[in-house]
């Protein structure tokens, strides 16, 4: 489809009236296209938009420009729309990208030798002043642009120079790198100095020549992009298909194609395209401009999330860590009042068997002032639900030989017992953990006759979320309905969690 007209000529080269053709591929960047058309309206004669009914991965897609043509009615007589509805057999994502760009040649086949042709992506927008300089130069002009990512006001770099312009008469010279090939326009984007030198064409670079607004539009649109564009199978876009990772990347402001280099927020000032400046609230509401206070708040939230994850992943160390405010991880978990710790942080082996204790009822020898609920069962059963926290789930009173017992409701062959001891509050000499030093585990089928299957006589204290829980595997063939944990002597019994697995 094409729309053409004959606007007034814009420039002269000698006695020749020159027109300006702005050529680019289009995917779904409607808001970015608004910026481009408005910015270049007074200097471009024709906007040549190349759109395909297929993604670069070969999947069907709607022609969003055509579906939204009414949005651009103001420019309709100066838009040449060129459709690409098939790609050569055997094309991959890269060859589809270059093939679509190369089809622009067909849309400008009628252009006169001295007319100026701009080749870029839709999100690479030259300044009008830079285009004016290109019109006055008889050669190839590269536009070195400021590059923005994720948001219009997050700057990444200042030297993006893939967009270029040249008189039509020099277009065929771009084939010097690959005679007879179909990717010369793409090759030229990244090799222009060498190509111009080989072809004997004058070459010029204009700095601060425009804006490259890349990877815009929010998480959902980026996830769509990462599955559709020519880089879809590259390492970084594949990483970013993980939504959680992508959101973290955006909140921190990590540069695209990087793991730890940062982009920076900047104010939207007079250096921006006029359409952006005139529609700041629109672009804020559409997620293109990030409020700096919101950005700071999001970064604070992310910092705390990462700090907590760091604490959870280092629970086994006794050292005080600067990243945790010079607390050791257990002190930080305690001080920050953090709740359940995911077991995958602890690096423990997978349990041997099927969990059979979850949600069962337990009881204990006594209640204390720290106990929960009205009955011993209410307090004791808390050890059988949820993830470990490092604190106590139940707490007996100080007494002689305190105990805790669970009813598994049926006789099972026990494969594994895991006891997460109380480790918070953390103390230098592990006083709370040491209360479990002479713990015994007994089992019974009838709650009358018990057999001791474990007695702790090791020097090291039993831990918990610090990665040192008691993990015990009874010998095969032992069946039990009741499992009792008890300590001898005058003491109090308090545990974090108990997990019992059957074969």
Domain harbouring 248, CATH code: 3.90.550.10
CB 335: neighbour CB atoms within 10 A?
Answer: 14
Whether 177 has a pLDDT exceeding 60, the answer reads: no
- What SS3 state is found at 3? coil
pLDDT at 35: 98
DSSP bridge partners of 321: 327
Backbone angles phi and psi of 383, in degrees to 5: -75, -10
Mean pLDDT, the chain, integer: 91
Residue 333: inside a domain? no
Q: How far apart are CA 84 and CA 224, in angstroms?
A: 20
**Which residues is 22 bridged to in the sheet?**
47, 118
The predicted model scores a pTM of 0.74
Q: What is the CA radius of gyration of the chain?
A: 34
Domain closes at, from 228, 258, 278: 278
Chain segment 444-477, per-residue pLDDT in tens: 999 999 999 999 988 899 999 999 999 999 999 9
Same domain? For 393 and 263 the reply is: no
Tell me whether residue 297 is in a domain. Answer: no
274 and 366 in one domain?
no
Q: What's the rounded Cα separation, in Å, for the pair 179 and 171?
A: 13
Which DSSP category does 60 fall into?
B
Regarding whether 168 and 268 lie in a shared domain, the answer is yes
Contacts of 419 (CB under 8 A, 6+ apart): 436, 439, 462, 469, 470, 472, 485, 495, 497, 498
Contacts of residue 398, defined as CB under 8 A and 6 or more positions apart, other chains included, come to 368, 490, 491, 492
With respect to residue 92, please indicate whether it lies within any of the assigned structural domains: yes
Q: Which tokens go with 274? A: 């006029």
Cβ-contact 445, 479 below 8 angstroms: yes
Q: Which two tokens stand for residue 393?
A: 């789930």
Residue 491 maps to which CATH number? 2.60.120.260
Neighbours of 292 (CB within 10 A): 12
Confidence of residue 16 (pLDDT cuts 50, 70, 90): low
Q: Which of 278, 298, 315 is the last residue of a domain?
A: 278
Q: What angle do helix axes 30-40 and 128-135 make, rounded to 10 degrees?
A: 60
Beta-carbon count within 10 A of 366 CB: 16
At residue 483, the pLDDT reads 99
> Would the pLDDT of 416 be above 50?
yes
Cα dihedral 178, 181, 183, 188, rounded to 10, equals: 30
Band (3; pLDDT cuts 50, 70, 90): very low
pLDDT confidence tier of residue 236, bands split at 50, 70 and 90: confident
* 239 and 365, same domain (yes or no): no
| Domain identity same for 355 and 272 | no
pLDDT value of residue 451: 97
Q: Which domain range does residue 226 map to?
A: 11-278
Beta-bridge mates of residue 140: 203
Question: Same structural domain for residues 229 and 96?
Answer: yes
Q: Residue 329: CA atoms inside 13 Å, Cβ hemisphere, count?
A: 21
- 49 and 135, same structural domain? yes
Q: What is the pLDDT of residue 15?
A: 46
207, part of any domain: yes
Range from 173-182, 360-369, 377-386 carrying the lowest mean pLDDT:
173-182
Rounded Cα gap, residues 440 and 51, in angstroms:
74
In the structure, what pLDDT confidence band is assigned to residue 178 with cuts at 50, 70 and 90? low
pLDDT exceeding 70 applies to what percent of the chain?
95
Does some domain include residue 335? no
Other CB atoms within 10 A of residue 321 CB: 16
What number is the average pLDDT over the span 278-298? Answer: 94
- Residue 113: strand, helix, or coil: coil
Domain boundary residue, one of 221, 243, 278: 278
Helices (H), 174-291: 184-199, 219-226, 235-240, 243-252, 274-278, 280-285
Whether 31 maps to a domain, the answer reads yes
Whole-number percent of the chain with pLDDT over 90: 74
Two structure tokens written together for 5: 């007209």
Q: Is the pLDDT of residue 11 over 60?
A: no
User: How does pLDDT run across 56-94, given as a tens digit for each residue?
Assistant: 888 899 999 999 999 999 999 999 999 998 888 888 878
Q: Quick check: 263 and 155 in contact, CB under 8 A?
A: yes
Name the domain count of the chain: 2
- Give the model confidence (pLDDT) of 308-334 as tens digits: 999 999 999 999 999 999 999 999 999
Same domain, 386 and 257: no
Helix 219-226 vs helix 243-252: angle between axes, to the nearest 10 degrees?
Answer: 120
């Amino acid at each position: 489809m094409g729309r053409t007209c004959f606007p007034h000529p814009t420039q002269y080269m000698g006695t020749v009236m020159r027109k300006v053709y702005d050529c680019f591929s289009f995917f779904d960047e409607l808001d970015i296209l608004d910026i481009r058309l408005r910015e270049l309206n007074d200097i471009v004669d024709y906007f040549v938009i190349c759109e395909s009914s297929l993604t670069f991965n070969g999947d069907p897609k709607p022609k969003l420009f055509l579906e939204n043509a009414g949005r651009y009615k103001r420019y309709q007589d100066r838009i040449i729309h060129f459709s690409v509805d098939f790609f050569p057999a055997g094309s991959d994502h890269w060859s589809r990208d270059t093939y679509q760009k190369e089809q622009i040649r067909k849309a400008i086949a009628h252009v006169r030798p001295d007319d100026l042709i701009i080749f870029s992506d839709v999100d690479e927008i030259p300044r009008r002043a830079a285009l004016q300089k290109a019109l006055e130069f008889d050669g190839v002009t590269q536009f070195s642009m400021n590059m923005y990512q994720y948001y219009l006001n997050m700057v990444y770099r200042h030297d993006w120079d893939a967009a270029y312009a040249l008189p039509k008469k020099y277009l065929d010279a771009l084939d010097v790198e690959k005679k007879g090939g179909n990717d010369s326009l793409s090759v030229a984007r990244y090799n222009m100095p060498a190509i111009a030198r080989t072809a004997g064409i004058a070459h010029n670079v204009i700095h601060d020549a425009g804006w490259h607004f890349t990877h815009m539009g929010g998480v959902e649109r980026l996830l769509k992009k990462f599955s559709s564009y020519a880089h879809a199978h590259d390492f970084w876009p594949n990483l970013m298909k993980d939504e959680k990772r992508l959101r973290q990347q955006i909140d921190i402001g990590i540069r695209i194609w990087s793991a730890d280099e940062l982009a920076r927020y900047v104010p939207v000032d007079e250096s921006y395209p006029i359409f952006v400046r005139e529609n700041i609230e629109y672009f804020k509401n559409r997620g293109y401009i990030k409020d700096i206070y919101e950005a700071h708040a999001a970064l604070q939230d992310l910092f705390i999330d990462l700090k907590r994850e760091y604490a959870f992943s280092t629970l086994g160390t006794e050292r005080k860590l600067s990243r945790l405010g010079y607390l050791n991880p257990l002190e930080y978990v305690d001080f920050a009042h953090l709740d359940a710790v995911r077991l995958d942080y602890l690096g423990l082996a997978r349990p041997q068997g099927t969990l059979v204790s979850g949600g069962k009822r337990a009881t204990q020898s006594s209640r204390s002032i720290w106990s929960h609920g009205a009955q011993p069962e209410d307090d004791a059963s808390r050890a059988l639900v949820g993830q470990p926290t490092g604190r106590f789930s139940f707490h007996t009173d100080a007494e002689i030989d305190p105990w805790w017992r669970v009813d598994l409701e049926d006789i099972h062959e026990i494969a594994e017992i895991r006891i997460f001891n109380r480790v918070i509050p953390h103390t230098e000499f592990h006083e709370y953990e040491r209360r479990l030093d002479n713990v015994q585990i007994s089992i019974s089928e009838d709650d009358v006759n018990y057999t001791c299957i474990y007695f702790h006589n090791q020097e090291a204290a039993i831990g918990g979320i610090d990665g040192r829980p008691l993990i015990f595997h009874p010998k095969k063939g032992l069946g039990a309905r009741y499992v009792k944990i008890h300590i001898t002597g005058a003491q109090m019994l308090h545990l974090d969690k108990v997990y019992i697995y059957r074969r």
